[in-house]
Amino acid sequence: MKEKLTGKGLDKKAIEISEKANIKIKDPQLEQVHLHASKSLAYQSLNDWKLAEESINQSTNFFRVLKFNKSKKEQSESNSEFLQTEIFVLTVQGNLFRERNQTLLAIEAYQKAFNLLQSNSNQLNPFKKQPQIINTTTVERVHRGYLELLTTNSTQGNDFLSKVRESLKEHYIAELDNLLENKKWEAADRLTLKLMLYIAKREKEGYLDAEDIKTFSCPDLRRIDANWKNHSDGHFGFGVQKKIWLFTGNRQEYNEEAYGKFLSRLRWNEWDYDMIIREVEKDYSKAPVGILPYYYLLRYDYLGDTLPHRQITYRYLRLKVQRDFSNLPPQETYIWMRLGKVLADTDGAGWGSYPYSRARVCQL
Residue 222: predicted pLDDT: 93
Residue 344: predicted pLDDT: 38
What percent of the chain is modeled with pLDDT above 70?
Answer: 75
Q: Where is pLDDT greater, at 203 or 228?
A: 228
- Residue 140: pLDDT band with limits 50, 70, 90: very high
Output the pTM of the full model. Answer: 0.83
∠ CA 20-67-96 to the nearest 5 degrees?
50
Strand, coil or helix: 19 = helix
Residue 1: predicted pLDDT: 64
pLDDT in tens, 71-124: 544 544 457 888 999 999 999 999 999 999 999 999 999 999 999 999 988 888
Quote the DSSP letter at residue 139: H
Rounded CA separation 363/27 (Å): 52
Is residue 344 a contact partner of residue 350, using CB atoms and an 8 Å limit? yes
Number of Cα atoms under 13 Å in the Cβ half of residue 205 = 15
Residue 177: predicted pLDDT: 96
Say whether pLDDT at 29 is over 60. Answer: yes
299 contact partners, CB below 8 Å, separation of at least 6: 207, 306, 307, 308, 309, 312
Q: Where is pLDDT greater, at 312 or 42?
A: 42
Burial status of residue 159 (CB atoms within 10 A of its CB: 0-12, 13-18, 19 or more): exposed
Say whether pLDDT at 153 is over 50. Answer: yes
Q: Which helix (H) or strand (E) holds 249?
A: none
- Residue 128: pLDDT band with limits 50, 70, 90: confident
Give the DSSP letter string of 303-331.
TS-EEEHHHHHHHHHHHHHHT--TTS-HH
Hey, which residues does 306 pair with through a beta bridge?
300
319 contact partners, CB below 8 Å, separation of at least 6: 325, 328, 336
Domains of the chain: 2-156 (1.25.40), 212-361 (no CATH)
Give the DSSP letter string of 182-229.
TT-HHHHHHHHHHHHHHHTT-TTTTS--HHHHHT--HHHHHHHHHHHH
pLDDT in tens, 284-342: 999 999 999 987 654 433 333 444 444 444 444 444 444 444 554 444 444 444 443 33
Average of per-residue pLDDT values in the chain: 79
Q: Where is pLDDT greater, at 250 or 148?
A: 148
Neighbours of 150 (CB within 10 A): 22
Residue 301: predicted pLDDT: 34
Q: Where is pLDDT greater, at 184 or 273?
A: 184
Residue 78: predicted pLDDT: 52
- Residue 151: pLDDT band with limits 50, 70, 90: confident
Q: Where is pLDDT greater, at 67 or 185?
A: 185
Hey, which residues does 127 pair with through a beta bridge?
none
328 contact partners, CB below 8 Å, separation of at least 6: 319, 336
Q: Where is pLDDT greater, at 171 or 155?
A: 171
In our burial notation (b when 16+ CB lie closer than 10 A, e otherwise), range 327-348 reads: eeeeebeebbeebeebbeeeee
Long-range Cβ contacts of 73-78 (<8 Å, 24+ apart): 76/123, 77/26, 78/26, 78/27
Say whether pLDDT at 154 is over 90. Answer: no
Q: Where are the beta strands (DSSP E) in 43-190?
A: none
Residue 317: predicted pLDDT: 44
- Residue 352: pLDDT band with limits 50, 70, 90: low
Residue 310: predicted pLDDT: 45
Q: Where is pLDDT greater, at 328 or 231?
A: 231
